Structure 1
Amino acid sequence: MSYERRGGHYGGRRRQRDDYDDRRHQQQETPDEIIKNAIIKFGEVDANEELLRLEKQIRDHVPRSIPVLSEAFRVSVTEQPYKIPHYATLLRVLHNKSDAPTEDEIPLGRLILEDFWKGFQGYVDKLAWREARLCIHFFAHLTVAKLISADSMLALLQSFTAVLDEFGVSNGRAKKAALCAGEGLLIGGLVLKPHSPTSTNEIINAIQTYTDTTNSQKWLVAPITSLTSESTPLTPPETSIEFLEMLLTTLRKLDESDYVETGDCLPRPYEIYVPFSPDVLRPYDLPLVLVPPEAIEMDALSPITAEGETPVKKDEWPEFFIRLFPSDVSPDFTNPVGYMIRTTILDIVDIFEVNRKECARLLLEYPKWNLPGTFKPKPGSTVTVEPAPGKDWQLESTIIETIISTYLLLPESSRKSIYYISLITEICKLSPSTVGPAVGKSIRRLYSSLSEGLDVEAARKFAEWFSVHMSNFGFQWVWKEWVPDLSLPIQHPRRAFMRRAIEFEIRLAYHDRILKTLPEAMQSPEAYVIPESGPSPFFDYEDPTHPHHDAAQAILNLFRGRAKAEDVITHLDTLRTTLDSSEEEGHVGNVDSLVRSIAVQSLLHIGARSFSHLLNAIERYLPLLRALAGVNSSTSAAASSGTTSSSNPEARMEILSAAAAFWKHNRQMVAIVFDKLMQYQIVDPTDIVSWTFLNGAGVGQLSELGGPMNLSAFEWDLLRAAIDKANGRVVAARRKVMQLRKEADDKRAQDNAAVNHMDVDVEHKPEETPVDDPQLITALKAYSSLIKEQKMALSRTLEGFVESLAPPPTARHPNPQARTVVSESAWESRAAWERDEWNAWETWGWYKQFCRSYAPYLGTYAETLYTVSFARFDGVNDPGADALKRIWNIATGQDA
């Protein structure tokens, strides 16, 4: 007993000593870090109560370091935009002189502001647009507080509007510059307009002039629009609006009231302090700034070819936001308060992408940084706040609407889709009772918009979000609400959405589990909502009564025994001879197709157990697959370039068809297998594109219905994967060429230095470098080959769309409705549309998505692609051809 007590006693002392050592070795914050963190955390409890205490802490900080203080302000302003008015107030208080001022004393706030400007100049030089814009917000508040002169603030805003007048300015650059100028005017207009009404009007007019030049682009990326003309929208403009148009609407409305209404949009806590007299403190004059030209990111562009087209970057489209709730639930697009709320929420979502949990918390705490009465109080809250006139909105609905609008941006959102989906999930977990109803209403509103012309890409993303969100909350949804829509045509967007969402849900769970969540009317095969069975493989030769069952089993036994690829090839040659002798004369091609089908399906059957089994089977039998595809693997140029260099494209198409037939009940696996076949260079991206347009509709629930060819979201996924593969290979090859060229330049410079006994600059222009390095020569050949592959993939995709949407009478998949759905009166008569019309409408939607998504690459080859695909329509009066060319011209920047 004594031993145990002594052991416990000494053990306790040892733990205490270890705890002391841990505390002693913990890194202690320096005084600079303490004051910096205090500034960053300012206002977390109550900004008004913390203000004077923090001011004293800053003044008492010794030794004083202005760079540390200004850096704390810069971090706070650019990463916590909802606090900007309060940081402006803190800087206003720091402009007060000390208790015993000297004649030459410079206020501490002025010193911080001067150093803050240096950081802002750094943001501008690096074209860090978000940080620069938020700093301008800060300067605008300081202008209203009379700490910055109105002249210098106007000059700063005009330096950004000057960007809009640059020759050939990109839409992305112009949009960001316009937001910097417009939002600075929105916040500081109360002081800027009385000072110079002409200058403020010039800023608004400059933004308006630029937006007028983007009308055709707006039409192409509007989430709800027509196929014929931007002048005939399907829905009233209040249901969606472009970002800069929303800014202009806000500016025009505030300008009418001389920006007095700005006080209803933003808190201005610094207004309680009397402005300094110019005799006491002259406002700070912001130095002049020049926005530098934008650096071209080569990896974001398509390669420059001999055609000399200058491509654009992928973010070169206007941003449209869709509206989901009425004005009494969330602020509408014409409300200045609504603009400020939406942009602040967008900034929070953008800044806190690295931590979605923190982002969700901050979004739900957002009302504390707004004027009282802006949002309804939380249920059960004891704080009584009178609702502000025209406000009193629902916070959760406003947040969800803003996030979904950003998620549905076309052609793609600025962040990964999974981030927005996960963020909504986190918000729901924090406050399920209030956020859940907002999410449910959003789903119902988007579902109803499917009949109003919601873009097919937006509908695809909606289905993706819906399915993932359901998977996070037990797949609980009131499906019976949509049972009446089963009477709609089978290709109606609502029914297509049901199928797509259920397909996604099955991928995230199990077929039987999802089946149980559906009402009985949706479970029947005739409803075409959910497949009869789960996503299992389908081996054509599994049935013992099949005439080629024994041949397939023999090949399966070889695979199971891990026979060498050469032995399998020899066996297939023997099988081919045997089948050829038993078939009628003249059917050799059918025998080759049959052998390929048996071999490919048998190989996939071996790899059907898991992804690892699939990859192992493909890698083990790559020589077999190359032999089946007719790939000449001995051609070094083909191997190095990443292309198949095959003389038998029909063989590759048959391999794709066999793979699709094996996984016809699991379209996700079809896409996966196709991707692996491209990765291992069994097929080319162009083969995938060609197969998709010829056979893609034969996979899935509706394959047995027949009818004209159409492109659904599944076919688009295949096309997108193929084009992305071709583009990605070009990017990788370009990087390799640049790396080898730089290495060759460096080596040549070092050799010259050794010969001449002198130091030389190792930087050489690429065009001056002789191409004599074998590795570089090989890389250049591969690069050239891959550019041709990329061009072929784009060309074949464009030709496929043209043949589908403006088909000649002899087309393999004639679809006469493709032309009728783009007529002026077509949309108004959509209630009478049947399956073929909706087929054509969806295919048109994917053509639009193709053009706007790959506009940078299409613009590079615009002249050649136009000649190949559209030249035959010149001078022809064809509504389908006119619509095709109009979309093409807008995407490639050739629209007047």
Structure 2
Amino acid sequence: MSYHGGGGYRRRQNRDFDYHDRRQEVVSETPEDRLRTFIIRFGEVDPVQELQHFAEQLNNHVIENPANVSIISEGLRYAVTEQPYKVPYYATVLRLLYDTPAIKTEDAEGVSLGKQILDDFWKGFQSYLDKLAWRETRLCVQLFAHLTVAKVITAQTMYDLLHSFSAVLDEFGVPHGRAKKAALCAAEGLMVCGATIKEDTSANVFELISALQAYVDSTSDSKTLIQPIIRLYANTEPVEIANEILDSALSALQILNASDFSQSSESFVQPYKDVTLFAGTTFDLPSILVPPEVVELDTLSTESGEDALVKKEEWPEFYVRLFDSDVTPDPTTPAGYAVRSALLDTIDIFEINRKECARLLLEYPKWTLLGTFRPRPGAPPHEPITGKDWQLESTIIETILGALLLLPEPTHKSVYYVALITELCKLSPSTVGPAVGKSIRRLYGFLADGLDVELACRFGDWFAIHMSNFNFQWVWKEWVPDISLSLQHPKRILMRRAIDYEIRLSYYDRIVKTLPEPMQAPDNGLIPSEAPGPDFEYDDPANHYHDAAQSVLDLIRGRSKAEDVMTHLESLKNSLETTDSDANTDSIIRSIAVQSLLHIGSRSFSHFLNAIERYLPLLRNVASGSLTTTGSSNLEARIDILTAVATFWKRSPHMIVIVFDKLMQYQIVDPTDIVSWAFTSGGKNSTAAHPSISALLWDVVRGALDKANGRVLVARRKVATLRKEEDEKAALTLASNGTSMEVDAEAKPEVPAEESPALTTALKAFSILTREQKAVLSRTLDGFVDCLASATSPNPNAKTVVTENSWHNRANWSEAEWVTWETWGWYRHFCRMYSPYLRSYSTTLGTVSFAKIGNVGDPAVDAFKKIWNITTGQEP
């Protein structure tokens, strides 16, 4: 149980609690709860001034009741792991308590209070380590590092602790996520206490740094897939707009080591240095062994028929930099790394309470060295520290956006980061607002430099949501000159996406009025010609099939039986074959049926669901190809259904994704059908001469992939549950039969129990869904091959985009080249998002899909295969 809960305590104390909380009965706090709360709330006024009094109060609590030692230790663990900005001050408290006179207890006679607390604290740290609670473990290591500098913990045992974490990097086949977290534990601890450890001649600081260096060098290939700026060609220096977290830690360590860690005192708060030099008995940290990862993974059937363990891939973390180093901290320096790490931990911990998180972020300078940040308006001036004096609000916004723009996906839901920025703007609009505006302009500038397509979409969504929270006020006239760019230029796409999203969040007429006149012109392609809504193709009386569609619409509106509607459609088909012999009557009939059904359900989402559920037999009949001539296939019928949906909702693209998802849920179409449509019929309106994938089509493809993967996961869990139930029944049967468990008992042949019908059915369903999963992954890869590297339908634009010289001339790119470049971006994102599944099927997928790929030596083919090899863990 957490007594702080990532801001939960203050949330419960906030007067702005909700009605449910007001109705709850007030529960009186126990003395133990009050003691924990007292520890957690330490330093909220002035931590330096409170230190001595706080230590005395803790001592008094133990004098009153020696059993409070464990309560104090528990409270310190919660405080350290949920308030990382207070860690140096809690280390100072423990240092002061080491000077407290010895207290005699039943368990520890003559041992100082600080020693007793630290003994109990270590037990809690060991439990964090056993559970592999990495963030809590890392923050505890930081506390031990500060205590090492304070001479409470011996340097040799602290070195051994850090060495145990660095040893994880040498494990055979260590996953990147495990290695990264262990490396950060060792690196951040060494940053704090490196100077003290170096004084011990038996400790080898260089060995720790070298282990980190070796691992960082081994991850160079995977970094090419998650950098925020796309570079498809090789032998080009990356754009310096982002820093990888392990690279930053290594750089900071190297700077510190070069100066014998003399900069540690300029980078980390060390209030314990003002306390009298400690001369008592030091504390030896026990030896540890970092436990292996707990196997809690999803399984799926692989090509060999065996179960493969599949876990979400963890990639290197690149955080975008938006400002110069004189405005925000450079995370590759010791002081910059310390600031960003503390802010990231605060953002992560307080995800449960964004309002409290926003308040604490703005109060963060209180916990840093004086002069780290510029004084806020109205605050007394101070002498800036050399190389610091950063802008607080710009630093906070840059850190939040860096977390939002992590690839392949952020740690928390995107809406949390968006809401957190909104809360910051509400708390201090005059200072946070300008920082947000500068960040928007900076990210907008990155679009032309090759900002990853996934990040461009996140940026557009955040921009639109943020504008909706502040009356849609933005200086759009700054972007008017960019209207002259190619229609498919990333800046034009960003503007269209943001405007479309704003319209969804408000009203068409209102958003149009916020735009300058040049942007309102219909031929600019920034705003739709009409408000979002359905577009019934056959509603116009001038349409040749208007009467036929109206007859079907009347039947559905009158709630006729599905059989009657199917009979009517059959007669319409026969009639059209007679009158329009040249027309594709099959596709027309399907389009009329599907669009009529959607038209009935277009009033609201509940109307849509009711219409779908009422006429499921009709949809299944249409999807099966029953209403067709003998030359049509089921796939053609399902593709026609998807095309009809896209036609009907072309003015509300988000509805296409929603309806497709429901069609998959009701098993009208398969995920493979969705992917096939996206790479064929879905791209027909593209300006490129070859198949391509836009942001909308990627949303469609991703929905199909997630549906297939999710079905396999659910089926696997069901199989595991049924197997567990059968094993338990078998064990009960053996127990009830009195089976002897003695060693000398006569061995009896074990007869395998027959599988229950439920388990047999579940296994069959799991096998079918696994094949479907493999098929949809294969179809997606095939689609990207056709777009970018197929020898049978070569795309000259794909080759042009991956050529270094052509990239530097991208200002002259045509729309087709920009479309192809975006497709390259979605191929990269497909690989990094679904790499665990692609690795499981890498042999079959690579063999089948690459059979039609172009020749090696072609820039597009080489780039395609390099991305694939990195994804599947093969040699590039």
Same fold (TM over 0.5): yes
Are 1:631 and 1:682, in contact at CA under 8 Å, matched by a contact in 2? no
Structure 1 residue 491 and structure 2 residue 494: aligned?
Answer: no
Map Cα deviations across residues 145-180 of structure 1 (whole Å, 9 max, x no partner). Answer: 011011110000010011000000000000000000
**Residues 889 and 605 from structure 1, CA distance in 2 versus in 1: closer, same or farther, beyond 3 angstroms?**
same
Are 1:689 and 1:722, in contact at CA under 8 Å, matched by a contact in 2? yes
Within 2, Cα distance between the matches of 1:384 and 1:583?
A: 84
Deviation at 1:873, TM superposition (A): 4.1
Q: Could you say what secondary structure the match of 1:241 adopts?
A: strand
Within 2, Cα distance between the matches of 1:36 and 1:120?
A: 18
Q: Could you say what secondary structure the match of 2:680 adopts?
A: helix
Within 2, Cα distance between the matches of 1:363 and 1:564?
A: 61
Query: 1:505 matched to which residue of 2?
Result: 502
Q: Could you say what secondary structure the match of 2:319 adopts?
A: strand
Which one-letter code corresponds to 1:51 in the other structure?
A: L
Structure 1 residue 78 and structure 2 residue 61: aligned?
Answer: no
**Residues 307 and 823 from structure 1, CA distance in 2 versus in 1: closer, same or farther, beyond 3 angstroms?**
farther
Query: 2:708 matched to which residue of 1?
Result: 726
Query: 2:636 matched to which residue of 1?
Result: 650
Q: Could you say what secondary structure the match of 2:493 adopts?
A: helix
Gaps of 5+ in 2: 1-21, 627-631, 743-749
Within 1, Cα distance between the matches of 2:633 and 2:472?
A: 49
Deviation at 1:332, TM superposition (A): 1.6
Structure 1 residue 628 and structure 2 residue 622: aligned?
Answer: yes
Map Cα deviations across residues 174-220 of structure 1 (whole Å, 9 max, x no partner). Answer: 00000000000001112012214852111100001001111011111
Structure 1 residue 469 and structure 2 residue 501: aligned?
Answer: no
Structure 1 residue 525 and structure 2 residue 527: aligned?
Answer: no
Q: Map of 1:829-844 to 2, 5 A cutoff?
A: 829-844=809-824
Deviation at 1:104, TM superposition (A): 5.8
Query: 2:29 matched to which residue of 1?
Result: 29
1:677 corresponds to which of 647, 663, 676: 663
**Residues 308 and 340 from structure 1, CA distance in 2 versus in 1: closer, same or farther, beyond 3 angstroms?**
farther
Deviation at 1:758, TM superposition (A): 6.7
Farther off after superposition, 354-363 or 741-750: 741-750
Deviation at 1:493, TM superposition (A): 0.9
Within 2, Cα distance between the matches of 1:849 and 1:309?
A: 26
**Residues 363 and 538 from structure 1, CA distance in 2 versus in 1: closer, same or farther, beyond 3 angstroms?**
same
Map Cα deviations across residues 649-669 of structure 1 (whole Å, 9 max, x no partner). Answer: 110000000111111111011
Within 1, Cα distance between the matches of 2:751 and 2:659?
A: 44
Gaps of 5+ in 1: 1-21, 633-645, 761-766
Which one-letter code corresponds to 2:782 in the other structure?
A: E
1:457 corresponds to which of 454, 468, 474: 454
Q: Map of 1:703-722 to 2, 5 A cutoff?
A: 703=685, 707-722=689-704
Within 2, Cα distance between the matches of 1:563 and 1:114?
A: 77
Deviation at 1:892, TM superposition (A): 0.9
**Residues 82 and 583 from structure 1, CA distance in 2 versus in 1: closer, same or farther, beyond 3 angstroms?**
same
Query: 1:789 matched to which residue of 2?
Result: 772
Farther off after superposition, 57-66 or 725-734: 57-66
2:397 corresponds to which of 395, 400, 405: 400
**Residues 599 and 200 from structure 1, CA distance in 2 versus in 1: closer, same or farther, beyond 3 angstroms?**
same
Q: Could you say what secondary structure the match of 1:489 adopts?
A: coil
Map Cα deviations across residues 799-853 of structure 1 (whole Å, 9 max, x no partner). Answer: 00010002345x4xx6321111112322112122111111111110110000000
Q: Map of 1:364-375 to 2, 5 A cutoff?
A: 364-375=362-373
Are 2:831 and 2:838, in contact at CA under 8 Å, matched by a contact in 1? yes
Runs of 4+ residues over 6 Å off in structure 1? 99-103, 757-760
Within 1, Cα distance between the matches of 2:530 and 2:779?
A: 35
Are 1:855 and 1:892, in contact at CA under 8 Å, matched by a contact in 2? yes
Within 1, Cα distance between the matches of 2:873 and 2:172?
A: 14
Map Cα deviations across residues 385-408 of structure 1 (whole Å, 9 max, x no partner). Answer: 222221111000000001101110
TM-score, length-normalised on structure 1? 0.90
Within 2, Cα distance between the matches of 1:197 and 1:447?
A: 52
Deviation at 1:895, TM superposition (A): 2.7
Structure 1 residue 287 and structure 2 residue 286: aligned?
Answer: yes
Q: Could you say what secondary structure the match of 2:344 adopts?
A: helix
Structure 1 residue 893 and structure 2 residue 876: aligned?
Answer: no
Deviation at 1:710, TM superposition (A): 2.3
Within 1, Cα distance between the matches of 2:752 and 2:320?
A: 52
Deviation at 1:498, TM superposition (A): 0.8
Map Cα deviations across residues 679-723 of structure 1 (whole Å, 9 max, x no partner). Answer: 11000000000000112234xxxx485744321111111111110
Structure 1 residue 256 and structure 2 residue 258: aligned?
Answer: yes
Map Cα deviations across residues 599-635 of structure 1 (whole Å, 9 max, x no partner). Answer: 1000000001111111110011001000000089xxx
1:93 corresponds to which of 84, 92, 96: 96
Map Cα deviations across residues 255-314 of structure 1 (whole Å, 9 max, x no partner). Answer: 11111111111111111123322xxx2211100111111022223x65544176966632
Query: 1:387 matched to which residue of 2?
Result: 384
Query: 1:826 matched to which residue of 2?
Result: 806
Deviation at 1:774, TM superposition (A): 0.6
Are 1:228 and 1:883, in contact at CA under 8 Å, matched by a contact in 2? yes
Are 1:771 and 1:777, in contact at CA under 8 Å, matched by a contact in 2? no
Within 2, Cα distance between the matches of 1:758 and 1:660?
A: 67
Q: Map of 1:228-377 to 2, 5 A cutoff?
A: 228-229=233-234, 231-235=235-239, 237=240, 239-277=241-279, 281-299=280-298, 303-306=301-304, 313-377=311-375
Query: 2:3 matched to which residue of 1?
Result: none
**Residues 72 and 768 from structure 1, CA distance in 2 versus in 1: closer, same or farther, beyond 3 angstroms?**
farther
Query: 1:686 matched to which residue of 2?
Result: 672
Within 1, Cα distance between the matches of 2:622 and 2:103?
A: 91
Structure 1 residue 581 and structure 2 residue 582: aligned?
Answer: no
2:842 corresponds to which of 853, 862, 867: 862
Query: 1:223 matched to which residue of 2?
Result: 228
Which one-letter code corresponds to 2:674 in the other structure?
A: I
Aligned length: 837
Q: Map of 1:737-776 to 2, 5 A cutoff?
A: 737-756=719-738, 770-776=753-759
Q: Could you say what secondary structure the match of 1:327 adopts?
A: coil
**Residues 769 and 795 from structure 1, CA distance in 2 versus in 1: closer, same or farther, beyond 3 angstroms?**
farther
TM-score, length-normalised on structure 2? 0.93
Structure 1 residue 667 and structure 2 residue 667: aligned?
Answer: no
Deviation at 1:328, TM superposition (A): 1.4
Q: Could you say what secondary structure the match of 1:506 adopts?
A: helix
Map Cα deviations across residues 514-565 of structure 1 (whole Å, 9 max, x no partner). Answer: 1111111111121111111111211111112222211111111111111111
**Residues 507 and 374 from structure 1, CA distance in 2 versus in 1: closer, same or farther, beyond 3 angstroms?**
same
Are 1:40 and 1:75, in contact at CA under 8 Å, matched by a contact in 2? yes
**Residues 37 and 663 from structure 1, CA distance in 2 versus in 1: closer, same or farther, beyond 3 angstroms?**
same
Are 2:297 and 2:309, in contact at CA under 8 Å, matched by a contact in 1? no
Deviation at 1:771, TM superposition (A): 4.8
Are 1:815 and 1:836, in contact at CA under 8 Å, matched by a contact in 2? no
Map Cα deviations across residues 123-155 of structure 1 (whole Å, 9 max, x no partner). Answer: 010000000000000000000001101111000
Which one-letter code corresponds to 2:237 in the other structure?
A: P
Q: Could you say what secondary structure the match of 1:826 adopts?
A: helix
Farther off after superposition, 347-356 or 319-328: 319-328
Query: 1:437 matched to which residue of 2?
Result: 434
Are 2:791 and 2:852, in contact at CA under 8 Å, matched by a contact in 1? no
Deviation at 1:580, TM superposition (A): 2.3
Within 1, Cα distance between the matches of 2:350 and 2:323?
A: 25
Are 1:81 and 1:347, in contact at CA under 8 Å, matched by a contact in 2? yes
Within 2, Cα distance between the matches of 1:196 and 1:314?
A: 42
2:589 corresponds to which of 591, 595, 609: 595
Within 2, Cα distance between the matches of 1:337 and 1:133?
A: 18
**Residues 663 and 58 from structure 1, CA distance in 2 versus in 1: closer, same or farther, beyond 3 angstroms?**
same
Within 1, Cα distance between the matches of 2:616 and 2:192?
A: 64
Deviation at 1:463, TM superposition (A): 0.6
Deviation at 1:870, TM superposition (A): 1.5
Query: 1:134 matched to which residue of 2?
Result: 139
Which one-letter code corresponds to 2:181 in the other structure?
A: K
